[in-house]
């Protein structure tokens, strides 16, 4: 009996279907995976599971990239929240005192993301996000020129190291003049 070899068009179509089905099956599992964070410096932190969501299903890996980004953002947010009450000190980048950009860069460094040191430089990293599309872990920038950064928590709240005499704390997003936001 002669051996039948499928034509190249069939192979490409069948291959895409297998990859798309595999990625879709993986994506269905991702939202149920909790993200956890613990500070790299060994200090105690409040750690809570966070449900991850993915909105893009694409056989080129966007699902996994979105999942990894969301997990890192969630972990960085939890780390920043673990520093509530730590003192503000201009130029400090943790782990026991912070300025605004120091808190953000420290939290993201713990999860493997290197960010520039100043809020103005951090505002040029990642992709822009509309205020209406903010997700927990997004960086939020304030004032013109940009001179302050915070991490979005959700429900109109941010965690930040605000100013001298004020510890790391949670504030309303609209308490300061919003300039832009970035997703890293």
Catalytic site residue from 23, 37, 80, 100: 100
Residue 87 carries which DSSP code?
A: P
Which of these is catalytic: 67, 72, 86, 148? 148
Active site residue 4: no
d(CA 184, CA 37): 17
148 is catalytic: yes
Range 110-115 contact pairs with CB under 8 angstroms and sequence separation of 24 or more: 110/37, 110/39, 110/40, 110/41, 110/75, 110/76, 110/79, 111/37, 111/72, 111/75, 111/76, 111/79, 112/72, 113/72, 113/76, 113/184, 115/184
Query: Is 84 a catalytic site residue?
Result: no
Catalytic residue from among 67, 72, 83, 160: 160
DSSP bridge pairs for 157: 154, 172
Active-site residue numbers? 100, 148, 160
């Amino acid at each position: 009996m002669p051996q039948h070899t499928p034509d190249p068009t069939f192979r490409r179509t069948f291959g895409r279907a297998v990859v798309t089905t595999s990625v879709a099956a993986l994506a269905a599992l991702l939202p149920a995976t909790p993200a956890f964070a613990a500070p790299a410096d060994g200090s105690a932190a409040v750690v809570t599971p966070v449900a991850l969501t993915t909105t893009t299903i694409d056989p080129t890996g966007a699902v996994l990239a979105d999942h990894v980004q969301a997990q890192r953002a969630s972990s960085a947010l939890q780390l920043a929240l673990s520093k509530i009450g730590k003192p503000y000190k201009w130029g400090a980048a943790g782990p026991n005192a912070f300025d605004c950009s120091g808190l953000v860069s420290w939290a993201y460094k713990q999860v493997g993301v290197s960010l520039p040191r100043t809020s103005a430089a951090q505002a040029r990293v990642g992709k822009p996000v509309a205020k209406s599309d903010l997700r927990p872990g997004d960086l939020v920038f304030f004032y013109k020129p940009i001179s302050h950064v915070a991490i979005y928590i959700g429900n109109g709240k941010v965690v930040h190291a605000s100013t001298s005499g004020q510890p790391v704390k949670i504030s309303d997003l609209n308490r300061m003049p919003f300039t832009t936001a970035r997703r890293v």
